[in-house]
Chains A and B, each alone.
Chain A
Amino acid sequence: MAVNLQQADASSVLEARRIHNQKLARQHDQTRATWFPLAVLGVLLALPLLQLTGNYNYLLHLVLFTASYAVMASGWNIIGGFAGYISLGHAVFFAIGGYFSGMLLARYGISTLLTAPLAGLVAAICGYLVGLITLKVRGPSFIISSIALLMIARILFDHWGFIGGANGMSLPVTDLPVLTAKLPYYYAFVLMAAFTVWATYRIKHSKFGLGLRALSKDEVKAESAGINTRFYKVLAFALSAFFVGMSGAVWGEYLTYLRPNIFLIILVSANLVLMCILGGKGTIAGPVVGAILIVAFNEIFVATLGASEINILATGFVMVLGLMFFPNGVIGTLARKGKLPRVLNWD
């Protein structure tokens, strides 16, 4: 009898807790402005209508560029922000995605818009295999090993004749008229960015995401709490590689050529890290905000100063300032002060 009573108590406690959690979730939902990201998406989808009134290709290019970086930075955020493993080697997956789809386009004429998910999958498989090795170490060791990964990939890509070696290879140029030439890639990147933001949201709010956040705080404790940390972090690495690879695939066709010194440079990786840090590591909106900031910043620098060396210098400088004075990024700092506007609260 007593046992039954206890069981009844336990289940009622669980029930009460469930109701309480639902209430909290509802309150949280009310503070979130879901309409805002959707409205932004709507505006972006309608933006090409401007082409009817004139040539806005530059504007489209900027949005497309930002969206491609938003995809990659959000992807990086899964391993770097949620799981806390800073990878400086994600340019490798960018290149794998770009080359995989680019080769299919060059050999068989299949558009990368169709093969992008496949390219993401290939990048994810590579990420899984690499992660099995490199994720054995954490902290600075992991960062170093990710740089080594980039160097190894660079040597391989530079000397692999089949994919054009260091000279790379050119891809067929689209035969669409000027005004619509950018549109397929534009829509591809905007939709990919929307999908990525949605996916990272789902990941963050799943049991998997909770596990990642636990292991980023303390891996040993997470392990003893019954989380399969090895599998979790390797999977997170593979998932982040998926998004980066997918973006690389379409980017290759958009550029119309593949070359190791465009895809496999540390500046690409550095930009991803920088976007997540400036925007706010581990938040959903952070990488998107970071991508907007960095692209705007890059455009200003390229437009006024031009040279790529100055660009590297400026990127490094912004990174130092960001790290020293805003380690939590825009979203993180605002959220900590309780001043995050509702429209930017996507978590």
Chain B
Amino acid sequence: MTDILQILILGLALGGVIALMGSGLSLVFGVMRIVNLAHPSLIICGAYVSYWAFKLWGLDPIVTLPIAALIMAAIGVLLYRLMFESQAKSARYSEMTVLLTFALAMIVEGFLGAAFTNTQRVTSPDYATDAFFIGSLFIPKGQLYAGCVSLAIIGALTLFLNYSRLGYAIRATTQNREAAELLGVNVNLISMIAFAIGIGLAGAAGSLVSFVFSFFPAKQWEWIAMLMSVVVLGGMGSVLGTVVAALLLSVIAAFVGAWVGATWSTMTFFLALFVILLIRPQGLFGEKPELA
């Protein structure tokens, strides 16, 4: 019984981080219909920001989180301007943007690999290796803090989307681009802002990831499939769905990892992706089969 509870706690704590990693992806898809394959590589960028800030100046990753988020958001604006704005009129928009983000992922991976080499890195603040003990239960502080911070950020994001004028505009653009434009929403500007927020979330997730997982530039391919399964299960474009799916899948993965073998815990995500695409391509919270 304690075993099960223990695995559940570890799974939920990781699930919180994965939810934050996926939420930016989901937001960008919702507003712009871009499947951003470069998202994990940008998360790794954010992780490097926090890693070097910790390594050089001893700054705590949670403290540098807003900085990483801001830097990445600025990069997001730049990327939007350079790459995606001109694609809006493209006939094969969805495929073109997927390929573009794929190429972008390779650029980022190559750049990070050339600059920082492909060695495994992990930020190690004191709490990363520490843990709380409640009875026989063991809760690693790093994962707990990361999970709590990311759920707080997602909470703030939900409040922003639901209760601010800008949030209304973003949700309106998600629901129906043309109608939003007719009602006076500057769709292009909203897309840019949403894209920047999405990439900013990637930066924020990166700071947390930097002490939860070990990372290196080529790790992104594993994360792409993992995040995609989370986002597709949640229903692309739905932030709430992403959170639910992330918690669900990471708990399942934790059980698989504990009972079957650590290798197969990542496999859970990939197989889940196949099963979801097969049975319910619109995901749990998706309204219509957007991608099918």
Contact = CB atoms under 8 A, between A and B. Distances in A.
A155 interface: yes
A103 interface: no
Nearest to B111: A313
B3 interface: no
Given A144-B228, A266-B221, A310-B114, A323 B263 contact: no
Contact of B267 (A136, A137, A152): A152
A273 interface: yes
B98 A147 contact: no
Contacts of A137: 277, 281, 291-292
Interface in B252-292: 263-264, 266-267, 270-271, 273-274, 277-278, 281, 291-292
B95 interface: yes
A319 B99 contact: yes
Interface in A272-291: 273, 277
A124 B273 CA distance: 23
Interface centre among A84, A145, A324 (most CB of B within 10 A): A145
Contacts of A138: 292
A317 B107 contact: yes
Contacts of B6: none
B281 A141 contact: yes
Contacts of B274: 133-134, 145, 148-149, 152
B270 A312 contact: no
A147 B225 contact: yes
Contacts of B96: 323, 327
Interface centre among B83, B95, B100, B264 (most CB of A within 10 A): B95
A323 B103 contact: yes
A113 interface: no
B167 interface: no
A6 to B, nearest CB: 42
A79 interface: no
A88 interface: yes
A139 B95 CA distance: 6
Interface in A112-134: 133-134
B114 A270 contact: no
Contacts of A310: 110, 114
A315 B108 CA distance: 11
Interface in A294-330: 307-317, 319-320, 323-324, 327
Interface in B75-96: 83, 86-87, 90, 94-96
A317 B87 CA distance: 17
Q: Give the size range of A's interface with the partner.
A: 35 or more
Q: Give the size range of B's interface with the partner.
A: 35 or more
B225 A148 contact: yes
Nearest to B279: A136
Interface in B186-238: 217, 221-222, 224-225, 228-229, 232
Contacts of B247: none
A316 B98 contact: no
A133 B281 CA distance: 12
B281 A320 contact: no
B278 A136 contact: yes
Contact of A320 (B35, B103, B267): B103
A221 interface: no
Contacts of A141: 232, 277, 281, 291-292
Nearest to A307: B114
Contact of A309 (B94, B118, B270): B118
A324 B291 contact: no
Nearest to B33: A140
Contacts of A20: none
Given A155-B263, A273-B99, A312 B109 contact: yes
A152 B118 CA distance: 22
Task: Name the 8 nearest CB pairs between A and B, nearest first.
Answer: A313-B110, A316-B106, A309-B113, A312-B110, A319-B103, A316-B107, A141-B291, A140-B35
24 contacts: A86-B98, A133-B278, A139-B291, A140-B291, A143-B35, A144-B35, A144-B225, A147-B221, A148-B270, A148-B273, A148-B274, A152-B270, A152-B274, A155-B270, A267-B106, A313-B109, A313-B110, A316-B103, A316-B105, A316-B110, A317-B107, A319-B99, A324-B86, A327-B96
Given A133-B278, A147-B225, A270-B102, 8 more contacts: A140-B291, A144-B273, A148-B225, A148-B270, A155-B264, A155-B270, A312-B110, A324-B87
